[in-house]
Structure 1
Amino acid sequence: MPHDKKALQILLDAYWSPRGWKRDGPVDRADFEYARQAGYMFDSVAVTHDDIVTRLVSVRARINLEQVADAFLASLSTRRLELRSALGSFSCAVQFPLHGLREQTARRVPSGRLHCRICGRYGDSSPEHEDLNILSFERWKWGGVRHVDPLYCWFDLAQFEKTAPIAPTQADHSILARIIDIASSLAPEARPGELDARIGKAVKSNSAERRTLIQILGYCGVLKPAGRNGFLQAFTAEELRDRPPDRANDWAYPVIWWRGADGVDMDTLGRIFPKVAAMV
């Protein structure tokens, strides 16, 4: 869809200010309607867990790895973060199992709702109203935050499907090659935070954007911790996504386990970004 700066600003201003998150209440109705018509803001949707799963499985079949890889690359020089997000969502969706919310695959929490052990969503048999605007904000602001959430994956890929294809440039390939070089040369004990700091000069970004970039490289398996897979290689159920005991470590699974000694998985890099693999 065409880039509408006014509509995007309405979306961003709804949630963010120079001081950070805003909790000021609803958007002006006329502004909301303008942004909605432009495709940046949305009415809420009433869906069940099973509706979300069905929608995600449907949309992933209409998108391929080459499309999202090209979009990811093209985001590096353009800072089109909404394009960057799709690789993370596609990676988490491609092996995502078709399943229903059932007593056998969930646990009942004190509120009475079911918590799915496969995808991590809460729900029951009744549709719940879901706010798509916060997801849209995160997609445009940082390149996504909730890639392991099937609601976000569905929303992100459905929006990506409407986007005109974009071809990455040689500069884009060079930026990722530089990031790969840095990730491959860190000290064995280095953690994702050090990679965040080190790639700041390689790609125009702030730390929040770089965190998402690194986490997407984990979701797709380019940054693959020892003994664990990226979601592109194998889906890991929510109940099996173990985390280190360090509660201050708030990186996403699986990159939360990545260390400098793990380096870069060159087979996966070659599969997703063959031109970049040939450069490093």
Structure 2
Amino acid sequence: MDTKAKKILINTFWTSSGWRDEKITGTKDFEYAKSKGVMFEKITIDHEELGRKLLKVYDKIDKQQVVDFFIASLTSRKLEYRSFLSSFAIARVFKTHKFQSTDYKICKNCGIYNKGKTEYDLNVLNFEKIKWGGVRFSSIEYVLFDLEQIEKITNAKPTKEDYEILEDIKNVIINLPQEERPRQLEKKLSKVFKSNINERENILNILGICGILETEDQKGFYNNFIPYNEREDRPVNKTDWSYPVDWWQGKFGINKEVWNYYFG
């Protein structure tokens, strides 16, 4: 990734104090970052067109390529590689459908806001992807954007150390005490590979979306697409976790079928 373009993108949204109030990029800087595939023009697309486009992009994606990106990120810490896995998992079971509104004008099937043409800022999605490895993992607009980026980058090759870390992650998960939750798991993973809290949280959220970390009642996106209005929030005041991993405990272990599907 072009270093200058990356800096332009990050500076558009972020300061040393956090989010920037006015998100303005100079024309010259924007055109430079756009020429490097780091910043984008806003897109306008409707609900059904977005769904069709997602499936078209998914058809071109190779599962092993996505898996390799995820595994290779464990030592390289290229955070932008990681959410390809959860985006692939969601797209794999996604089906086109008619907009079904809720009281909040959100499609109760996929969570897209608004049936008609909607403008999306791809730059904030890419900023979140590059800085944190993604935030809106289950948002269909992010899933589409994320998968579109795969063809722009060189395939990753996991190392022996990457595979060893993956196996260590698995062992920590399956040996977690039954009543412990994702936070205790995250802390124990800090001893397995170089990472910060946000990185470990994202990895666990991604494994949840894939269906590796799920419960008997709160399933990930493996056998079926989980409708937006069925992704239950755990009844707590505050949580750092996404559905379904927020519900997960050590007693549920891993879904071996899903683990083997992705990691062999």
Which of 46, 49, 64 pairs up with 1:48? 46
Which of 251, 254, 276 pairs up with 2:244? 254
Residue 41 of structure 1, CA deviation: 0.6
Matches within 5 A, 1:112-261: 114-125=105-116, 127-261=117-251
d(CA) in 2 for partners of 1:202 and 1:33? 41
Q: Deviations over 1:121-167 (max 9, x none)?
A: 11133x22210000001111121111211100000000112222111
Equivalent position SS for 1:122 = coil
Equivalent position SS for 1:201 = coil
d(CA) in 1 for partners of 2:177 and 2:236? 20
Residue 100 of structure 1, CA deviation: 2.4
Quick one: which amino acid aligns to residue 140 of structure 1?
I
Quick one: which amino acid aligns to residue 161 of structure 2?
A
1:30 maps to 28
CA contact (8 A) 1:45 1:129 kept: yes
Residue 263 of structure 1, CA deviation: 1.5
d(CA) in 2 for partners of 1:178 and 1:270? 15
d(CA) in 2 for partners of 1:108 and 1:179? 41
Which of 13, 16, 20 pairs up with 2:14? 16
Aligned: 1:106 with 2:104: no
TM-score (norm 2): 0.95
Quick one: which amino acid aligns to residue 37 of structure 1?
S
CA contact (8 A) 2:222 2:258 kept: no
Query: Aligned residues: percent identity?
Result: 38
Moved more, 56-65 or 11-20: 11-20
CA contact (8 A) 1:89 1:157 kept: yes
d(CA) in 2 for partners of 1:30 and 1:197? 44
Equivalent position SS for 2:149 = helix
Residue 256 of structure 1, CA deviation: 1.1
Q: Deviations over 1:210-261 (max 9, x none)?
A: 1111111111122122333220332110111112211312411111111111
Equivalent position SS for 1:106 = coil
1:278 maps to none
Quick one: which amino acid aligns to residue 176 of structure 2?
L
1:201–1:22 CA distance, 2 compared to 1 (3 A)? farther
1:6 maps to 4
CA contact (8 A) 1:74 1:168 kept: yes
Equivalent position SS for 2:106 = strand
d(CA) in 1 for partners of 2:169 and 2:15? 30
CA contact (8 A) 1:92 1:147 kept: no
Equivalent position SS for 1:46 = strand
CA contact (8 A) 2:218 2:231 kept: no
Quick one: which amino acid aligns to residue 183 of structure 1?
I
After TM superposition, the runs of 4+ consecutive aligned structure 1 residues lying more than 6 A away are none
Quick one: which amino acid aligns to residue 90 of structure 1?
F
Residue 107 of structure 1, CA deviation: 2.5
Quick one: which amino acid aligns to residue 146 of structure 2?
D
Equivalent position SS for 2:152 = coil
Quick one: which amino acid aligns to residue 192 of structure 1?
P
RMSD of the TM alignment (CA)? 1.5
Residue 108 of structure 1, CA deviation: 4.5
d(CA) in 2 for partners of 1:117 and 1:231? 16
Q: Number of aligned pairs?
A: 264
Residue 19 of structure 1, CA deviation: 2.5
Structure 2 spans left out of the alignment, 5+ residues:
none
Quick one: which amino acid aligns to residue 86 of structure 1?
F
